[in-house]
């Protein structure tokens, strides 16, 4: 593939009235008719650094889908073209390294065929790996940086294994954990084993010893799932049964390197709709030698579709900020795993999800799918369909300041935001 480059667009929002000084930098992905956009939103500089990316097409991937997967076996109740274009080739997340490299993951609600690296110093765009089209592999939708910022951890498996799993010919995929060296982008394999496919996110503990992830599955009637912990030092792994369906995102505790928090969505997708199968759950887990245990969990009857959760420090207390659809954000006390504060963003009818029943999750213009705390924990920056909005944790109120997303016509947000370095 020929060399590709992206040219930065700088957007200022310094003239927004009532906007306080906030130390928060995070990334966001956008898709549109002309390609992709990666935004780096820096509230300390009151600016957006925007990086446009051209679409990369893999016709052979669509051909393999159409040839090998009967329409009735495709996920989400969509057509082959929709599944390829709007899920596998859609952006999910961009992660900004300490040196200024954007690692971009494909596969929204599913998995993509490659990653991208955008060097924000030179504008050079690199497809990872260079031989991404032969053989075709699927990649986890979010990677994880090592604590020393020297590496980015990822997981992948052969596309043919996922095709065979969808058709019932195979139970497990041949998964491989690797790491990408920063800044030279060299790839090194770390661990190989068989496991479920559909892995949404992989994280690496701050001591670089353990990797943690779960398969993002929402099979009907599934009562529980498994979390996988890999000991990269001793080259072994173990499974932990998770007592809630559809686990996806893992986030590390800001103080204790052995603790992390797992969100379990309890939903499925059907023809573009998010169908809630019951309340979601946030689980606190601890890694020990040879086992990963559950230390606590939180759920209630109005706790739904946790699209993003972020542990952070506020006045010496660890809180977990959680988006709660359709109209709330929650702050969970991490020590007790109890609700510390529930914030109603706007008025909406409470959702009623009777046991054994399902309902479509309503989405409003003010619904928030992204949440990012400031470095001191005093503010949370939220993103709805039109603006970034600010919640003051200290004052317990939404500020009047609204920051536009400055999206071109036809573009929309996709996937998740990520704090710089996360």
199 close to 214: Cβ distance less than 8 angstroms: yes
Q: Where are the alpha helices (DSSP H) in 123-252?
A: 159-166
Q: Which of 80, 16, 20, 25 is nearest to 48 (CA)?
A: 25
| Class of residue 67 by CB neighbours under 10 A (exposed 0-12, middle 13-18, buried 19+) | exposed
Work out the angle at residue 103's Cα, subtended by the Cα atoms of residues 99 and 104, and round it to the nearest 5 degrees: 150
Residue 84 is given by DSSP the state I
Tens-digit pLDDT profile for residues 342-378? 999 999 999 988 877 889 999 999 999 999 999 999 9
Q: What is the pLDDT of residue 202?
A: 97
Q: Exposed/middle/buried for 292, CB within 10 Å: 0-12, 13-18, 19+?
A: buried
**Distance from C-alpha of 403 to C-alpha of 387, rounded to nearest angstrom:** 5
Name the band, by pLDDT with cuts 50, 70 and 90, for residue 2. low
SS3 at position 165: helix
List b or e across 134-150, with b for residues whose CB sees 16 or more CB atoms inside 10 angstroms: eebbbbbbbbbbbeeeb
48-96 pLDDT per residue, tens: 999 999 999 999 999 999 999 998 888 888 999 999 999 999 999 999 9
Q: Mean pLDDT over all residues of the chain?
A: 94
Give the model's confidence band at 1: pLDDT under 50 very low, under 70 low, under 90 confident, else very high: low
Residue position matching structure tokens 């690199």: 126
| H/E stretch holding 288 | strand 281-288
pLDDT confidence tier of residue 224, bands split at 50, 70 and 90 = low
pLDDT at 36: 97
Q: Check which CATH number belongs to the domain holding 318 and give it.
A: 2.130.10.10
Q: Does residue 114 surpass a pLDDT of 80? A: yes
Neighbours of 179 (CB within 10 A): 23
Taking alpha carbons only, the member of 185, 215, 189, 35 closest to residue 122 is: 185
Q: What is the pLDDT of residues 137-151, one digit of tens each?
A: 999 999 999 988 899
Mind listing the pLDDT tens digit for each residue in 23-32? 999 999 999 9
Banded model confidence at residue 326, pLDDT cuts 50, 70, 90: very high
Q: Are 216 and 200 in contact (CB under 8 A)?
A: yes
The two tokens of residue 63 are 């051909």
Which value, to the nearest 10 degrees, does the dihedral of the CA atoms of residues 414, 283, 228, 88 take? -10
- Exposure on the CB side of residue 272, measured as CA atoms within 13 A: 4
The yes-or-no verdict on residue 282 having pLDDT over 90 is: yes
Provide mean pLDDT across the span 157-182. Answer: 95
In 3-state terms, what secondary structure has residue 162? helix
Number of domains in the chain: 1
Reported as a pLDDT band with limits 50, 70 and 90, residue 132 is: confident
What distance in Å separates the CA atoms of residue 174 and residue 167, rounded to the nearest whole number? 16
The predicted pLDDT at position 75 comes to 85
What does the pLDDT read at residue 29? 97
Rounded to two decimals, what is the model's pTM?
A: 0.96
Q: What is the pLDDT of residues 359-369, one digit of tens each?
A: 999 999 999 99
Q: Which domain holds residue 259?
A: 4-419
Average pLDDT over residues 118-126: 96
The pLDDT of residue 76: 86
Q: Is the pLDDT of residue 222 over 80?
A: no
Q: Are strands 273-276 and 281-288 parallel, antiparallel or unpaired?
A: unpaired
């Amino acid at each position: 593939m020929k060399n590709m480059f992206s040219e930065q667009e700088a957007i200022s929002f310094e003239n927004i009235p009532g906007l306080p000084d906030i130390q928060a930098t995070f990334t966001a992905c956008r898709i549109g008719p002309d390609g992709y956009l990666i935004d780096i939103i820096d509230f300390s500089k009151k600016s957006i650094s925007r990086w446009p990316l051209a679409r990369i097409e893999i016709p052979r991937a669509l051909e393999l889908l159409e040839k090998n997967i009967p329409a009735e076996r495709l996920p989400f109740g969509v057509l082959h073209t929709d599944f390829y274009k709007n899920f596998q080739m859609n952006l999910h997340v961009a992660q900004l390294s300490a040196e200024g490299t954007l690692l971009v993951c494909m596969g929204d609600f599913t998995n993509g065929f490659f990653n991208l690296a955008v060097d924000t110093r030179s504008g050079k765009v690199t497809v990872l790996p260079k031989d991404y089209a032969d053989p075709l592999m699927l990649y986890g939708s979010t990677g994880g940086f090592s604590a020393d910022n020297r590496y980015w951890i990822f997981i992948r498996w052969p596309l043919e294994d996922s095709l065979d799993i969808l058709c019932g010919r195979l139970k497990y995929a041949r998964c491989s954990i690797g790491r990408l060296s920063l800044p030279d982008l060299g790839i090194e394999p770390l661990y190989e084993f068989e496991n479920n496919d559909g892995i949404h996110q992989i994280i690496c503990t701050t001591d670089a010893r353990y990797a943690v992830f779960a398969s993002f599955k929402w099979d009907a009637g599934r009562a529980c799932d498994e979390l996988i912990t890999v000991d990269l030092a001793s080259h072994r792994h173990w499974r932990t049964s998770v007592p809630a369906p559809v686990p996806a995102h893992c986030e590390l505790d800001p103080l204790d390197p052995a603790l992390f928090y797992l969100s379990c969505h309890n939903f499925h997708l059907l023809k573009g709709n998010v169908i809630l199968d019951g309340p979601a759950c946030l689980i606190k887990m601890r890694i020990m030698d040879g086992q990963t245990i559950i230390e606590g969990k939180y759920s209630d009857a109005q706790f739904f579709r946790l699209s993003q959760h972020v542990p952070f420090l506020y006045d010496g207390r660890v809180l977990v900020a959680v988006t709660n659809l359709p109209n709330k954000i929650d702050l969970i006390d991490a020590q007790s795993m109890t609700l510390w504060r529930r914030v109603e963003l706007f008025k909406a009818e409470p959702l009623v999800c009777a046991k054994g029943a399902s309902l479509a999750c309503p989405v409003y213009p003010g619904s928030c799918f992204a949440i990012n705390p400031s470095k001191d924990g005093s503010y949370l920056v939220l993103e709805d369909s039109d603006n970034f909005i600010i919640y003051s944790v200290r004052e317990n109120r939404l500020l009047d300041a609204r920051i536009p997303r400055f999206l071109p016509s036809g573009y929309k947000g996709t996937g998740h935001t990520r704090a710089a370095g996360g």
